[in-house]
Structure 1
């Protein structure tokens, strides 16, 4: 909308400059440089003296050109000014409306960084249908993602700012958030963001990307829950490509193919679950939901029990891992914790 107005104004200005230039060249037989110089000083009402004495036809042309040209120039400035003011008003209203919606978010995810890694984090969050807010100080990254993913600005909630600052995290609703993902390209930035986030809300689940593996311990030291090492993952995947080709293709299908039918999902057993105290055999998840639970992590533990036995007793805080469609995973959540 605004680009069309600007193009319209530029078109008319160029048109008037061409009319004036060729008018002086035809009527006064001046060269191109003298003609365009006379056109510009007349159109802008600078008022320098004439390049050469004007003929009667040239004076009449100058009078008409000055009146019409000045009117168009003044109108163009007016249109441009109103467009800028209108854009600022609309942008302020849009941002206020977005902030009002963010304030209503509960248990959402905050994504810090919309660069190369952040783009794929955002893509996965869009698939999950979970509410999230993106923070990045570079608006061009956010606009590029909106364009690449064919989104509208209403489909992506974002804040332009420095995620290391408390006020920006507060604007993103960190006090009501469930978790934060920091995926900036520098470990020092990610570390500071995690430290700031944990200082604002200690029970916030924080996951961070780390480039240098030796920095991992520093993240755990400040209370970061999960750390993903880029070099570590790349190294393991390169090795798998040679040693376990079928396993790698399976992982690709489950986690990396954009339009895959199945996802790895987890469900946390809540305190009100009707399955608490029952064995996996009695819970009969496979029959009632159609999914296989292939790993369980007990509350307070860090290791997963793969292929859990049928006599495993379901307890509050258990994390169950399953593979299935998005619909099936939602059914599993409802079956375990109720709708």
Structure 2
């Protein structure tokens, strides 16, 4: 058996697309008598696969894609109009000019000799050209304003809901660990406000604030001063330490649970006012 065969014989077996990683977390009692973590947190790590977005989430709304499609149709109609008028006896420049004023319906007088074929072609060009122009313009307006307006309205509505919360849990970080913690807290009936630097598009996420957890204004937006518990699930121990110091000054009675990626960070987190440190490694 050759060296290549030996390598194949000792090659690691094929791993399934989902690999469970179990992290045991000790119970952390809070003021209302419930436990923050009642069972081990199981994280399903999934390999990233390149899937077509239409197959992954259904056909998403893509106004920019429709805008470029409409612009392509408009360019095609302009080219056909220029060619058609040129065939009817106009020069290329005159044909392009006549096509543009016809599509834009500015009402200028026709160029050249107007025959029956000229009139029929102009009618068809108006039907297709004006339709393509209006469609492209409407999609452009939607792309520029509607998406931003919808996002702003949604954020304001969610912020009003967060402002009415009290005794909730603030979760900083929505990675693998943060998602697992959020899932368990929601299953336990707790109200959770998530802070993450990225816009989170999760159907099961009721309250979220986009921003850096190290920013005091972001913590205030999440209602930290009215919260009962803070869970720090950021990837960096330094960030967790910084947020813990800030949070303790904002809420002396706040129960703080922090994730630790290094055992040497645990005493520093406790000195910063963390009540429970969970080492995920």
Bin of the TM-score, shorter chain as denominator length: 0.5 to 0.7
1:17 aligned residue: 75
Q: For structure 1, list consecutive stretches of 5 or more residues without a partner in the other structure.
A: 30-37, 46-55, 232-339
2:276 equivalent among 226, 234, 239: 226
2:149 aligned residue: 89
1:192 aligned residue: 242
TM-score in terms of structure 2 length: 0.60
- Structure 1 residues 189 and 4: CA distance shift in structure 2, 3 A: closer
Q: How does 1:1-339 map to 2 (within 5 A)?
A: 3=61, 5-21=63-79, 65=125, 69=129, 72-73=132-133, 75-82=135-142, 84-139=144-199, 142-143=200-201, 146=202, 151=203, 155-231=205-281
Q: Distance in 2 between matches of 1:226 and 1:109?
A: 15
Conservation of the 8 A alpha-carbon contact between 2:77 and 2:128: no
Q: How much has 1:83 moved relative to structure 2?
A: 5.2
| SS of the residue 1:3 aligns to | coil
1:279-325 CA-to-partner distances (Å, cap 9, x unmatched) read xxxxxxxxxxxxxxxxxxxxxxxxxxxxxxxxxxxxxxxxxxxxxxx
Q: How much has 1:164 moved relative to structure 2?
A: 0.8
Q: Distance in 2 between matches of 1:87 and 1:103?
A: 24
1:88-129 CA-to-partner distances (Å, cap 9, x unmatched) read 333222222211111221210000001121111111112112
Q: Distance in 1 between matches of 2:133 and 2:81?
A: 18
Q: Distance in 1 between matches of 2:72 and 2:174?
A: 39
TM-score in terms of structure 1 length: 0.50
Conservation of the 8 A alpha-carbon contact between 1:207 and 1:224: yes
1:241-287 CA-to-partner distances (Å, cap 9, x unmatched) read xxxxxxxxxxxxxxxxxxxxxxxxxxxxxxxxxxxxxxxxxxxxxxx
Q: Distance in 2 between matches of 1:175 and 1:117?
A: 24
Q: Distance in 1 between matches of 2:74 and 2:174?
A: 44
Q: How much has 1:209 moved relative to structure 2?
A: 0.7
Question: Which structure dedicates a bigger proportion of its chain to helix?
Answer: 1
Q: Higher relative contact order at CA 8 Å, sep ≥6: structure 1 or structure 2?
A: 2
Q: For structure 2, list consecutive stretches of 5 or more residues without a partner in the other structure.
A: 1-58, 88-95, 104-113
Q: Distance in 1 between matches of 2:80 and 2:210?
A: 48
Conservation of the 8 A alpha-carbon contact between 2:172 and 2:196: yes
Q: Distance in 1 between matches of 2:219 and 2:194?
A: 10
Q: Distance in 2 between matches of 1:14 and 1:129?
A: 51
Q: How much has 1:80 moved relative to structure 2?
A: 2.6
Q: Distance in 2 between matches of 1:191 and 1:221?
A: 9
1:140-197 CA-to-partner distances (Å, cap 9, x unmatched) read xx21xx1xxxx26xx5200001111111111111111011111111111111111111
Q: Distance in 2 between matches of 1:110 and 1:201?
A: 12
Conservation of the 8 A alpha-carbon contact between 2:233 and 2:240: yes
Q: Distance in 1 between matches of 2:156 and 2:60?
A: 21
Q: Distance in 1 between matches of 2:242 and 2:74?
A: 56
